[in-house]
Structure 1
Amino acid sequence: MSKWKEAVINRIEQRSPTVRSFWVALPDREKLEFQPGQFLTLDLPISERRRERWRSYSIASPPNESNEAELCIVQLPGGKGTAYLFEEAEPGTRVMTKEPGGVFTLPDRPLEYDVVMVCTGTGVAPFRSMLLQRLPHETRHFHLIYGSRTPADILYREEFERLAEEFPHFTYSVALSRERPTEAPTFEVADGYVHQLYERDYAEPRPDVRFYLCGWSQMVDEARARLLKMGYREEQVILELYG
C-alpha cells in the first residue's frame, strides 16, 4: 500500500480566470521520479473522512532534476478541494501526498505511431508534460487539439505556439465554443468544439495513429464514441477522465 508523504506548496500562479498552477515539492528527496501523464493525489484538510479528502491532479510539468511538480487546477463551483486550494493554501502550505500514479502515459520506447491529443480545460496538463519531454526526441507527428470557451481560458498558449514553431512534427489547434480571439493567432482556431477538428483531419481511419483523450468525462465519452464510429479500434483510443 502506498505511503503518504509530506509535500509543500512552493508557489502559486494564476493561469486563467479560473485556473491556477500549484508547484508542489516533496522534501524527502532531491528528484521527483514520474512518467509524463501521471498524477499526484493530495490529502487535503477538508473532511474527517479520509477518502473524502483525496484529490488527484495530473502533473503538468515534465520530469526534471528537481523534487517539484506543477499541478494545473481549475476552481470548481462548490468543490471543497479547490475551495481549500484557492482560498486557504499559500506558499509554504503543507499537505500529504503519495508517489505519482496512473497509467495514462506514452510508451517508454520510440513511438511507432502518430499521437493525437484531444483535451478540454486542465485536461491539457498531462499532454504538456508529455510534449515537453518527448518532442525533442521523436520523429512521429504530435497533434494537440485543445478545447476552451474563450481565448482567456487557453492554458499554456504561448508555450504551445513556441513549440509549434520549433518542431515541424507538432501541430497545435484550438476550438473555442464562445468567443474568438481579437488578434490573429499563429495557430488554427475553429469555432465550436474539439470533435469537428479530429473528425476532419482523421476522417480516414489509419492504423498508425493513437488518440489520447483527457478532460471532462462528457467530452471524453463522446470523442471515444465518435472515433469508434469512424472506424478506429478500441486500442487506438486511450482515455483519462476528469470527473
Structure 2
Amino acid sequence: MPFEATITSIHRMTPRVKQFVIEADDEFDFEPGQHTTVRFERDDPDEGEDEQVVRPYTATNTPGGERITLAIKRYDGGTASVYMHERETGDTITLGDLGGNLTLQNTDEDVVFVSTGTGITPMMAMLKQYLEAGTGETQFFYGEKNQEDIMYRETLDQLATEHETLSVVYSLSEEDWDGPTGHVQDHIEGYLDDLDRDFYVCGVPQMVVDTKDRLDGLGVPDDRVFSEGWEDGEVED
C-alpha cells in the first residue's frame, strides 16, 4: 500500500547523484537489497490527463527504524529522477512497500558483489548486512565511467579499512587512472583465486547478462549467482 513519507535530508554524492534520507510514521519493513517505489502524478499532454508515475529505488541502509536512504541519479530525460532531484528537505513524497528478489542468501558463504552505476545501491545494503552477520570473505567490484561518478567511495574505503575480510576494486571505463579500467566484470578472475563463492550482480541489464555469462564460462554454478532476475528479458540477442 502506498504511504506518505518526508524527506529529512538531501546530500549531493556526485555531480549527478543525490542521497535522500526519508522518514515515515512507521518502521520500514524490508530485507537489505530490496527496493521501494516513488509514486507521483504528472500531466500527460498527449492524453490530456494525469499520468501515474511509479519508479523503483533501492534502500542503501539496513532495516531497523523509520528511516531509509535512497541514492538517485538524475537523468536529463528521466521523469522520476528529475522529480526527485527537484525535491527539497521537508517535502512529502509517496512511497510503495519494499520488495524485490536481490537479497543475501547465505551469510556463511564467501561473497562477491559486482555492480555498475546505481546498481551499487542494493549492494551497499547487503554489504553492510554481511559485514555485521557474515562469517567469510567479501570482494566488492564496482564499475563507473570516471572517478567523480564513483558513489559511496569514502564509505567503501572506510569499511575496507575496518574489515580485513573486505576488498574493494573500482574499475573505470572512460578514464585513465592508476587502477583497473574497462568493464568491471572483466577483472573478476584477476582478483579471485577461488571462485567457490556466492555472486551478487546488479547494474544495467547488458552488464548483468554479460557478467552471468562470464561467470558461467568460469564454471560458477547458476545457483551461486544472484540478480533481480528480469535482466535477461531486457537484452536482445
Measured after TM superposition, the shift of residue 155 of structure 1 is: 0.8
- Matched position secondary structure for 1:190: coil
Q: Which segment drifts farther, 223-232 or 14-23?
A: 223-232
CA distance in 1 between counterparts of 2:216 and 2:73 reads 30
Size of the aligned set, in residue pairs, is 225
CA contact (8 A) 1:63 1:133 kept: no
**Aligned counterpart for 1:141 among listed residues 134, 137, 143:** 137
CA distance in 2 between counterparts of 1:202 and 1:173 reads 11
Identify the residue that residue 222 of structure 1 maps to in structure 2. 210
Opposite residue 219 of structure 1, the aligned amino acid is M
Identify the residue that residue 195 of structure 1 maps to in structure 2. 185
> Is residue 98 from structure 1 mapped to residue 88 from structure 2 by the alignment?
no
CA distance in 2 between counterparts of 1:46 and 1:120 reads 30
CA distance in 2 between counterparts of 1:218 and 1:153 reads 20
CA contact (8 A) 1:140 1:169 kept: yes
Identify the residue that residue 47 of structure 2 maps to in structure 1. none
CA distance in 1 between counterparts of 2:146 and 2:131 reads 27
Q: Which segment drifts farther, 134-143 or 160-169?
A: 134-143
* Root mean square deviation, CA, Å: 2.0
Change (3 A) 1:123 1:198: same
Identify the residue that residue 152 of structure 1 maps to in structure 2. 148
Identify the residue that residue 77 of structure 1 maps to in structure 2. 76
Measured after TM superposition, the shift of residue 134 of structure 1 is: 2.4
Query: Structure 1 length as normaliser, TM-score?
Result: 0.85
Aligned positions of 1:109-188 closer than 5 A: 111-180=107-176
CA contact (8 A) 1:23 1:69 kept: yes
CA contact (8 A) 1:39 1:58 kept: yes
CA distance in 1 between counterparts of 2:24 and 2:192 reads 41
Measured after TM superposition, the shift of residue 202 of structure 1 is: 4.1
1:192-239 CA distances to partner (integer Å, 9 max, x unpaired)? 1202211323476x4x31111011111111111111122222111111
Identify the residue that residue 57 of structure 2 maps to in structure 1. 57
Query: Structure 2 length as normaliser, TM-score?
Result: 0.87
1:134-172 CA distances to partner (integer Å, 9 max, x unpaired)? 203322111110001111111111111111111111110
Identify the residue that residue 17 of structure 1 maps to in structure 2. 15
CA distance in 1 between counterparts of 2:23 and 2:174 reads 36
- Matched position secondary structure for 1:102: coil
- Matched position secondary structure for 1:116: strand
- Matched position secondary structure for 1:124: helix
CA distance in 2 between counterparts of 1:178 and 1:76 reads 18
1:96-129 CA distances to partner (integer Å, 9 max, x unpaired)? 112211121013xx62321110001111111111
- Gaps of at least 5 residues in structure 2 are 44-49
CA distance in 2 between counterparts of 1:19 and 1:200 reads 30
- Gaps of at least 5 residues in structure 1 are none
